[in-house]
């Protein structure tokens, strides 16, 4: 059997720990009645393609966001997105979604067209209505060989959402999901949903802090509740709104800032309070053995998400023992991210989303990571929002790992046995080490 084929067969049978996902209900979870169905246009415009709409149309077409349509309007919606699809069909993000739809819903032809979309849409609607979103997502995970999946979420995900599920359904979800708590709302920043999550956190704990000291106690209780309900890590998205460089600010200064109502702070005053709070939050994470996932790289301006902004956190004795996942490869600053993961014991390099963004980029960065990093420092995730995009992305990831490893074996960089060890490390062993899970 040719080496490339042998390596692909081996990689395909390794269980995959997807270290970065939004598939299972995004931030707050799916509705209790999850058999209302999803349409093909909802799947197509659920995530990345909706995000790109404003870059090629003057009209933001916000209705596309997160599939914000009803199933019964599928035909009108499919007609409406044709101009967008005409601009998207060459994208790798579209390709993985298309191939995931093909695998799960079986359409004929090279692409989804006006001729075949109705039958495909009927299959999509039937699948979601028959199984329900959660069961359909779990079936997709099983089909793709994904045994665990990190779910980026808010505190109400593990309390309100999981709490309303029947016991059997909750167990099925918690057996494969590893929730990661978004921190930004507790730093008084982020998207509007972060503020909603912070307000709900106060209600859940029946704790309404008015001082800096009380607020730190509140955050500690949030962490305890999240951890107790199955939380496995914390996530920082700050690069969307500010630099991920957080300085150590004295508590006395932070207390004064907090007394002026943190909800109304802005500019440098808000940044100083955020700097102080994040260091405390990370200390809380260390105490509870919750590793940190940081959005690095992809953003504008790119310097906000530059991995080197984390140098003081990675080097601080105050945060000794903190594990840090540099997600999205730190791209376009992937070289610096590789050096950080190569240098600091607690720093891991995560290619999540990179292969889907660009297969060429994904292969290139994966090849460099294998060349440069110890075997246990490379992580991989999908960063998808639907089961269909997820399946297509997992197929792409497995193919790229097999291809890159086979090429290096043929080049005599290492043996086929070491290649197999690397494949298992990237897909399964390393995430288990990062999360401290068996």
Q: How does pLDDT run across 185-207, given as a tens digit for each residue?
A: 999 999 899 999 999 999 999 99
Residue closest to 124 by CA, chosen among 68, 41, 50: 41
CB 81 within 8 A of CB 64: yes
Q: What average pLDDT does range 275-302 have in this prediction?
A: 97
Q: What average pLDDT does range 285-307 have in this prediction?
A: 96
**Residue-level pLDDT at 61:** 54
pTM of the model: 0.96
**Residue-level pLDDT at 59:** 63
Residue 96 to residue 186: CA distance in whole angstroms:
34
Residue closest to 73 by CA, chosen among 83, 63, 65: 63
As given in the structure block, the two tokens for residue 39 are: 């349409």
The lowest-confidence range among 73-82, 108-117, 121-130, 351-360 is 73-82
For the stretch 90-96, contacts whose Cβ atoms lie closer than 8 Å and that sit 24 or more positions apart, written own/partner, are: 91/49, 91/52, 92/356, 92/357, 92/358, 92/359, 93/48, 93/49, 93/356, 93/357, 93/389, 94/49, 95/392, 96/356, 96/389, 96/392, 96/393, 96/395, 96/396
Q: Is the pLDDT higher at 285 or at 81? A: 285
pLDDT tens digits along 364-374: 999 999 999 99
Q: What average pLDDT does range 335-349 have in this prediction?
A: 98
Residue 246 to residue 258: CA distance in whole angstroms:
17
Residue 47, pLDDT above cutoff 90: no
Q: What band does 56 get if pLDDT is binned at 50, 70 and 90?
A: confident
Residue 35, pLDDT above cutoff 80: yes
Residue 341, pLDDT above cutoff 90: yes
Count of C-beta atoms within a 10 Å radius of residue 212: 22
Q: What average pLDDT does range 382-410 have in this prediction?
A: 98
Burial category of 300 from C-beta neighbours within 10 Å (exposed 0-12, middle 13-18, buried 19 and up): exposed
**Residue-level pLDDT at 52:** 83
Burial string for 327-341 (b: 16+ CB within 10 Å, else e) reads: bbbbbebbebbbbbb
Residue 66, pLDDT above cutoff 60: no
Which positions ≥6 away from 326 have C-beta within 8 Å?
294, 296, 307, 310, 337, 340, 341, 347, 348, 349, 350
Question: HSE of 66 in the Cβ direction (CA atoms, 13 Å)?
Answer: 8
Residue 62, pLDDT above cutoff 70: no
Of all residues in the chain, the percent with pLDDT exceeding 70 is 97
Q: Tokens 């909800």 belong to which residue?
A: 263
Q: What band does 70 get if pLDDT is binned at 50, 70 and 90?
A: confident
């Amino acid at each position: 059997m040719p080496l490339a084929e042998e390596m692909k067969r081996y990689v395909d049978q390794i269980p995959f720990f997807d270290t970065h996902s939004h598939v299972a209900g995004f931030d707050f979870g799916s509705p209790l009645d999850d058999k209302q169905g999803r349409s093909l246009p909802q799947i197509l415009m659920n995530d990345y393609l909706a995000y790109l709409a404003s870059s090629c149309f003057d009209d933001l077409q916000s209705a596309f966001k997160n599939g914000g349509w009803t199933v019964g309007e599928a035909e009108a919606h499919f007609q409406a997105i044709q101009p967008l699809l005409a601009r998207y069909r060459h994208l790798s993000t579209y390709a993985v979604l298309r191939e995931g739809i093909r695998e799960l819903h079986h359409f004929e032809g090279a692409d989804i067209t006006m001729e075949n979309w109705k039958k495909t849409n009927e299959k999509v609607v039937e699948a979601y209505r028959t199984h329900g979103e959660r069961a359909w997502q779990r079936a997709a995970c099983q089909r793709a060989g994904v045994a665990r999946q990190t779910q980026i979420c808010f505190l109400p995900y593990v309390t309100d959402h999981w709490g309303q599920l029947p016991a059997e359904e909750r167990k099925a979800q918690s057996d494969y999901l590893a929730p990661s708590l978004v921190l930004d709302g507790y730093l008084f920043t982020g998207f509007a949903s972060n503020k909603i999550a912070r307000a709900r956190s106060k209600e859940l704990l029946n704790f309404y802090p008015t001082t800096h000291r009380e607020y730190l106690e509140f955050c500690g209780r949030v962490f305890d509740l999240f951890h107790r309900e199955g939380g496995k890590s914390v996530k920082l998205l700050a690069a969307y709104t500010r630099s991920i460089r957080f300085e150590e600010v004295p508590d006395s200064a932070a207390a004064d800032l907090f007394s002026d109502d943190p909800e109304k702070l802005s500019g440098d005053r808000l940044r100083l309070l955020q700097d102080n709070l994040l260091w405390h939050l990370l200390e809380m994470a260390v105490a509870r053995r919750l590793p940190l996932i940081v959005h690095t790289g992809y953003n504008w301006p790119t310097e906000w998400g530059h991995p080197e902004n984390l140098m003081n956190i990675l080097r601080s004795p105050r945060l000794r023992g903190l594990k840090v996942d540099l997600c999205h490869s730190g791209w376009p600053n992937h070289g610096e991210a590789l050096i950080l993961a190569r240098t600091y014991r607690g720093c891991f390099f995560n290619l999540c989303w990179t292969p889907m963004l660009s297969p060429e980029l994904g292969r290139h960065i994966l090849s460099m990571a294998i060349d440069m990093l110890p075997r246990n420092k490379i992580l991989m995730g999908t960063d998808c929002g639907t089961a269909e995009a997820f399946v297509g992305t997992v197929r792409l990831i497995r193919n790229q790992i097999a291809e890159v490893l086979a090429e290096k074996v043929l080049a005599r960089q290492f043996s086929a046995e070491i290649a197999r060890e690397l494949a298992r490390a990237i897909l399964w062993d390393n995430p288990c080490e990062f999360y401290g899970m068996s």
